[in-house]
Structure 1
Amino acid sequence: MLYLCATPIGNLEDMTYRAVRVLSEVSVIAAEDTRHTRKLLSHFEIHTRLVSYHEHNKVTRGPEIIERLLTGEDVAVVSDAGLPGISDPGSDLVQLAIEAGIQVVPLPGANAALSALVSSGLDTTMFTFIGFLPKNKKKRRELLTSFAANPYTMVFYESPHRIKQTLTELSGAFGERPAVAARELTKKFEEFIRGSLETLAVHFAENDPRGEFTLIVGGQTCDEDLELQEADGEQLTLEEAVIRLMETGVAKKEAIKTIALKRGLSKREVYQATLE
C-alpha cells in the first residue's frame, strides 16, 4: 500500500496515533526533506528507513518507489508539513501508483489551508484552493486575472518574503476584497490578521511579516458597491469611503487608516470627517 501520511504543520501534538503506528510499520518512508522528517521521527521514536522524494528527483525516484510497492513493500509518503500531495510532488506519485494498480490510503491530519479557512470568518460553503502562485510574473498575472470573477473564497500559500508583493498583486487583480492572513498556524505565535487586501497591505507595511502565511480572500460578490468603490473611490467623500470599506467587514479604525493612506491624508483628518 501507498500511505499518504499527514504530519504536523507546527504543533507536534497534531500527529495522529494512526500516523505514528503506520510510520513505524511501513518498510520505507518517502520524505520531501529527510533531515526535517528525521527530527519528527526521532520525537516519536520511529526508526523506519527514509528515502528522499521531492520535486527535483521525482522523475527517477518515483518509479523506484513504485517498484518497491510492486514487490510487496508498504511505503508512506510525507511532506515537510501537512498533507502530502498538496503543493508538493506527492500527487505525481499517487498517479503512478494508481496506474500500477497499487492501493492508495490517506491518513488524514493537519492541513494549513483548511485550518486557516475555517478560522477566517469568510464563506466556507464553497472555496477555491490556489496555493502558491507561479514565480513568473506574467504567469502570476494571467492566473490572478482568470480568478478575478471567481465567486468563491480563495486560499493561497505565501512566504514572508513575498507576502507584500502578493497582496499588491491581489489588490490589483481583484480590487478591494475581504481578506485574512493566517501566520504560524498551530505554533506559539499563531495569528490571524483580518480585514481587507488593502488593510493587510497597510499592516505589513508597518509590521515585518514573519512565518509562513495562508491567505484567505473573499470571492467576487454580486454587490455593485464593491465595484463602485474600485471605480469611483476617489469621487466618494471621506465618510462614504470609510463606510464602503467597513461594509466589506473591515474595522472602523483600520478603514480610517487605509483611506488616509490612499488619499495621502492624516488619520486624524479622516477621523474628523467621519465624526462630522
Structure 2
Amino acid sequence: MKGKLYLIPTTLGENEPLEVMPYSVRKMVELIDHYIVENEKTARRFIKKITPKKSQPSLVMMKLDKYADELETRTYLDVCEQGISVGLLSEAGVPAVADPGATIVKLAHEKGIQVVPLVGPSSILLALMASGMNGQSFAFNGYLPIDKGERKKAIKELERLSKERNQSQIFIETPYRNEKMFSDLKATLTPQTRLCIAADITLPDEYIKTYTIADWKRQQPDLHKRPAIFIIHKE
C-alpha cells in the first residue's frame, strides 16, 4: 500500500499550535518522519512545539523553496511507493494555498498518491469570515504589482470586478510594504468602497476592521511588518 501525502497546517505566528488546530494534527506529526518544508529551521521548531518528545534526528527534511531543483523535488514522494507517508508543511497557515506546496500536491495526484488535507488556520478564509463581505463569491489575487502605477491599475480593476460580479476581492502584501499599500488603497478606491484589513490573525494583537474608504481616511492603523490580508468590495 502506498504512503499518503498529508497537508499539515502550521500556526500563523508564535502561538500554541493546539490553540488554533485540532489534536489530530499533533497525532499525525507524531507518526510522520518525512517532511517537505520551505525552511528546515522553522519546520523543526514547529514540530518540536507540537510534539516535544518526537526524535529530531529521525526526521527527514526535503527543501521546497525558490532555489529547489525541480528534478529533485519530483523525487520527494518516491518514498510513498514504499508505504511511507510524507507531511507537507507550510511556513504559515495551510499548505498549497498561496504557498509553493501546490506543486507537490499536483505531483501526488499524478502519481496516484492519496492527498489528505488536515484542518488548520487559513488567514485568507479567517479574514473573509470576519470581514462582513460576500462569502458566497470571492477571489484570492495573491500579490499585486510592486510598481506604483501598475499597482493602482490593479486596484482599480479589482474594484471594478467586485462591483460587476458582487465579489469580494482578496489580496496580500509583503508586511514591510503594508503601509504603502494602505496609502494607495485610500488614494485609488472610491469613498464608498469597503476595505477590510485583517492583521496578525489568531495572535494576541489580532486586528480586523472593515470600513468604507471615506472612514479609513480618518484611521491610521499600525500595519508595519504585520502579516495582513486586504479585502475590497464595491457594491
State how far apart, in whole Å, the 1-side matches of 2:229 and 2:167 are: 16
Give the match for residue 168 of structure 2. Answer: 153
Instruction: Between 137-146 and 13-22, report the one with greater CA deviation.
Output: 137-146
1:39 and 2:42 aligned: no
Q: Assess if the C-alpha contact under 8 Å between 2:186 and 2:216 holds in 1.
A: no
The 8 Å contact of residues 6 and 82 in structure 1, kept in 2 or not, is answered as: yes
The one-letter amino acid paired with 1:195 is Y
Partner SS for 1:65:
coil
Q: Relative CO higher for 1 or 2, CA cutoff 8 Å, sep ≥ 6? A: 2
CA RMSD of aligned residues (A): 2.5
Secondary structure of the 1:23 match is helix
The equivalent position to 1:3 in structure 2, one of 6, 11, 17, is 6
Decide which structure has greater helix share: 1
- 2:88 corresponds to: 77
Q: Tell me, yes or no, if the aligned pair for 2:178 and 2:223 is still in contact at 8 Å.
A: no
Partner residue of 2:212 out of 185, 190, 196: 196
The amino acid of 1:126's aligned partner reads: S
> Aligned pair in 2 of structure 1 residues 133, 22: CA closer, same or farther (>3 Å)?
same
What secondary structure does 2:176 align onto? coil
In 2, Cα distance between equivalents of 1:21 and 1:134 = 41
Q: Which of 157, 175, 184 is the matching residue for 2:200? A: 184
| CA–CA distance in structure 1, aligned partners of residues 82 and 147 of structure 2 | 41
Name 2:111's counterpart in structure 1.
Answer: 100
CA distance in 2, matches of 1:166, 1:58: 33
Q: Which moved more, 1:192-201 or 1:92-101?
A: 192-201
CA distance in 1, matches of 2:215, 2:91: 31
Mapping of residues 162-173 of structure 1, within 5 Å? 162-171=177-186
Cα distance in 2 for partners of 1:173, 1:91 equals 33
The range that moved more, 22-31 or 157-166, is: 157-166
In the TM superposition, what is the alpha-carbon distance from 1:32 to its structure 2 partner? Answer: 1.5
Any residues of structure 2 matched to 1:52-91 within 5 Å, and which? 52-57=63-68, 59-91=70-102
Which of 104, 107, 121 is the equivalent residue of 1:110?
Answer: 121
Query: Which deviates further from its counterpart, 146-155 or 79-88?
Result: 146-155
- Number of residue equivalences: 219
1:179-258 alignment, distance < 5 Å? 179-197=195-213, 199-200=215-216, 203-204=219-220, 207=222, 209-218=224-233, 220-221=234-235
Question: What TM-score comes out, normalization by structure 1 length?
Answer: 0.70
**1:86-134: CA deviations, max 9, x gaps?**
1111111111111111111111211111111111222322211123224
Q: Distance in 2 between matches of 1:136 and 1:23?
A: 41
Cα pair distance change 1:172/1:59, threshold 3 Å: farther
Quote the residue 1:175 is aligned against.
Answer: 190
Q: Distance in 2 between matches of 1:99 and 1:25?
A: 25
Query: TM-score normalised to the size of structure 2?
Result: 0.81
Q: Specify the code of the residue in structure 1 equivalent to 2:74.
A: P
Q: How far off its partner does 1:173 sit?
A: 5.4
- The code of the aligned residue for 2:25 comes to A
C-alpha change, 1:55 and 1:201, in structure 2 (3 Å) is: farther
Q: Secondary structure at the match of 1:125?
A: coil
The CA deviation string for residues 134-157 of structure 1, in whole angstroms up to 9 with x for no partner, is 445576456445433223112222
Could you tell me the percent identity over the aligned residues? 24
